Amino acid sequence: MLFSSAIFLFLYLPTFLFIYYLLPTRFKNAFLFAASLVFYAWGEGIVVLILLLSAGINFIAGRLIEQGKRTAGLWLSLVGSLSLLFYYKYSNFAVESVRGFAEALSLPGADNIELAAIALPIGISFYTFQGISYTLDIYWGRIRANKSFINYGTYVAMFPHQIAGPIVRYADIAPELEERHVTIEKFGVGAERFIIGMAKKILLANTFASLADQIFNAQLSDISTATAWLGIVAYTFQIYFDFSGYSDMAIGLGKMVGFDFKENFNYPYIARSIQDFWRRWHISLSSWFRDYVYIPLGGNRGGEFKTYRNLLIVFFVTGLWHGASLNFIVWGLYHGVFLLIERAGLGKRLERAPAAVGHVYTLLVVLVGWVFFRAVDLSSALAYLSKMAGLSASPADVAYPLSFFINTEVLVSLGLAVVLATPVYHRFQRFWQSLPAVAVREVVYSMGLFGLFIAAVMYLAADTYNPFIYFRF
């Protein structure tokens, strides 16, 4: 079930909120847990048992660690959680890699190496990392284990962040699991955030998704170099408004039920370096890798060689986390290499250079990287990059020149995307709030939000194309 679907907006969410606010406080967690399982099972069915198994493993592991069986609890969490993740997400990739290696060496029986396709449970990467962070924080003495499986299960399964993040750490919401309050003002802020995120997802991300798919699915010989650039620009905006919009909706829904999730994006496309980009992009994931992989490996302690090694390990795993594909591994290492280059001296040069230089450099690096993320395989990514560089010849009268895709909707969407990918909207909010006539101002703003919601719903009703990139992670 998508947040940006009619069944969620007009059936699930109103029903959930109506019952949730009628219930006494002591029953709210149990209902939120049960409703979240229904939300997950709606599209995944019996696979909801994998989520419950993962939650059960880490709940027991946390209790074992706190009872003094520290090593046993930690190993249960790591082996149990990562085994589920590897089996469902990487076993097909591992078998395909072994078969490809065997075929390359002409080893006997290579054709017989196969495994039945295993479906990927939605959100498994997110709830696996949440479970591991929970047990590691108990192991390191940062938090106490929760004695109630209902409360812990609510944390893991909570539908606002369940299937696509942000990665919420138990320590950040532990007090709210025990006691939380929702005021009309907080609910209103949550509703506002949800509507803005929904508009970003439906009105912008979906528009760019259609454009990017058309271009990436075309034969490279049928598109021009300019069209190839338009395709990756469209995907660059698609993935940002898709994921940041979904994170906005998750944060908004969290506030509606009394939880304050941390921000997951901070205008990454205004970054002046790749290091700055990763401080702003998918913040919950990059901070997770920093705290639970990079620092335990030694961080920047132990000299330059170990620091570079640790960074490459982190970005190798970052790429692999996104998917069982060479493309994602290359994408992760690609970003890691640029971080090493910046650390070796480029970063200081960028700090001294005009801001525009850093912005252009970062955007070019990120745009090229997204080609690996979007292309179906490595050879397709390299061929697309060749087309972008003008190295792939095309006839003068290509089937899909740039003009084929340029229309009023695309131009308006591109203009809005450029503006909304910067902090301009927040500056407008501050200006708007500084105006006199508070009552009139609030009415006008509320009507504007309502109009935005209606526009998104109308767009959703008129078009069934509603993909979401991060579902596969």
Residue at 356: amino acid letter: A
Torsion sign over Cα 346, 226, 396, 221: positive
Catalytic residue set: 322
Is residue 456 within 8 A of residue 1, CB to CB? The reply is: no
d(CA 297, CA 320): 18
Residue 36 structure tokens: 């979240």
SS (H, E, C) the chain: CCCCCHHHHHHHHHHHHHHHHHCCHHHHHHHHHHHHHHHHHHHHHHHHHHHHHHHHHHHHHHHHHHCCCHHHHHHHHHHHHHHHHHHHHHHHHHHHHHHHHHHHCCCCCHHHCCCCCCCCCCCHHHHHHHHHHHHHHHHCCCCCCCCCHHHHHHHHHCCCCCCCCCCCCHHHHHHHHHCCCCCHHHHHHHHHHHHHHHHHHHHHHHHHHHHHHHHHHCCHHHECHHHHHHHHHHHHHHHHHHHHHHHHHHHHHHHHCCCCCCCCCCCHHHCCCHHHHHHHCCHHHHHHHHHHHHHHHCCCCCCHHHHHHHHHHHHHHHHHHHCCCHHHHHHHHHHHHHHHHHHHHHHHHHHHCCHHHHHHHHHHHHHHHHHHHHCCCHHHHHHHHHHHCCCCCCCCCCCECHHHHCCHHHHHHHHHHHHHCCCHHHHHHHHHHCCCCHHHHHHHHHHHHHHHHHHHHHHHHHCCCCCCHHHHC
C-alpha 163, offset from chain centre: 10
Place of tokens 């907006």: 9
